[in-house]
Amino acid sequence: MKILTGNSNPELAEAIAAYLNIPLAKASIKRFSDQEVFIEILENVRGEDVFLVQPTSYPANDHMMELLVCIDALRRASARRITAVIPYFGYARQDRKPGPRTPISAKLVANLITTAGADRVLTIDLHAGQIQGFFDIPTDNLYAMPVLVRDMKEKYAGRPTTIVSPDVGGVVRARAYAKRMDSPIAIIDKRRERAGVSEVMHIVGEVEGTNCVLVDDIVDSAGTLCNAAQALLSAGAKSVSAYVAHGVLSGPAIDRIAASGLDEVIITDSIRPTAGVNTSKKVRVVTVAPLLAEAMNRIAHETSVSSLFD
């Protein structure tokens, strides 16, 4: 078993390797002057079970090409099995045709990863579960929920808590969190006029006098979370925080969170935290390295991955 990493999130790969007590495999990842990617594996991987850790976060296209080129290098080096460990699967939000003459980019990326030579994919909280079906190779979709719920229970033990879905599409996720927290749920009904802009309409459920916890899979520009927090506070919530699997946090997201009514936004390290995240007083990072490490170890030893969530 060997673990390899690209430039997307080497700290996460190092944490996974440390948990498993396995050194990271040596590789050289360079750019030519025109930014063309060149990768050289610096140790023997023939017949090895190789796990390549590379979330396809910002800059998504660069990290995607690194992933594909590295998979090709491993395949040509005769690795026995190549598992693409993609904690954050970029392009997952383009999982359907929202209008005429638009692509289904998530399917295209799945085809690219398969064609490059990956034998298996391991990811966390896909934006839509059906993306697993876009791959023609085994795909394990882990959930950050156990990690986030553990933190949630420590923070809200003995306090009245309501789990809130920021949109109708996240109700199943909110219900799963609420079941584990033994809490009621509420739903934000919003209308999105265009990508990245949302308008809160009204709240379904009782939130007055409770600590509201928003749960979502991705926070990008943070507009939805900040609008939802304001609506919940206006409806009488005692406090509002958010637990999110993937902290994309692009553009003005950190400033929006800082100026919002949110007490705290808790994200995982599926995406490498930026300098803004590390210095923000309202954003906190919890690690998914042990979760990924356990799943990788079970894949390597051909044992059950689903039992991680029993």
Domain ranges in the chain with CATH number 3.40.50.2020: 2-142+290-309, 145-287
Closest CA to 177 of 130, 132, 145: 145
Binding-site residue numbers for ATP are 34-36, 93-94
Average pLDDT on 191-220 reads 81
Confidence tier at 5 by pLDDT (50, 70, 90): very high
Binding-site residue numbers for Mg(2+) are 127, 167
- What is the C-alpha to C-alpha distance for residues 149 and 141, in angstroms, rounded to an integer? 18
Binding-site residue numbers for D-ribose 5-phosphate are 192, 216, 220-224
Residue 134: its pLDDT value, please? 94
pLDDT at 104 over 70: yes
Closest CA to 183 of 216, 150, 157: 157
CATH architecture of residue range(s) 2-142+290-309: 3-Layer(aba) Sandwich (3.40)
Residue 198: its pLDDT value, please? 55
Which secondary-structure segment (H or E) carries 277? helix 275-279
Is the separation of the CB atoms in 148 and 287 below 8 Å?
Answer: no
Residue 164: its pLDDT value, please? 96
Average pLDDT on 90-107 reads 92
Is 190 one of the catalytic residues?
yes
Residue 197: its pLDDT value, please? 60
Model confidence over 31-82: pLDDT tens digits?
999 999 999 999 999 999 999 999 999 999 999 999 999 999 999 999 999 9
pLDDT at 270 over 70: yes
Phi, psi of 151 (to 5 degrees): -65, -40
107, 190, 238, 282: which is the annotated catalytic residue? 190
CATH class entry, domain 145-287: alpha beta
Residue 129: its pLDDT value, please? 83
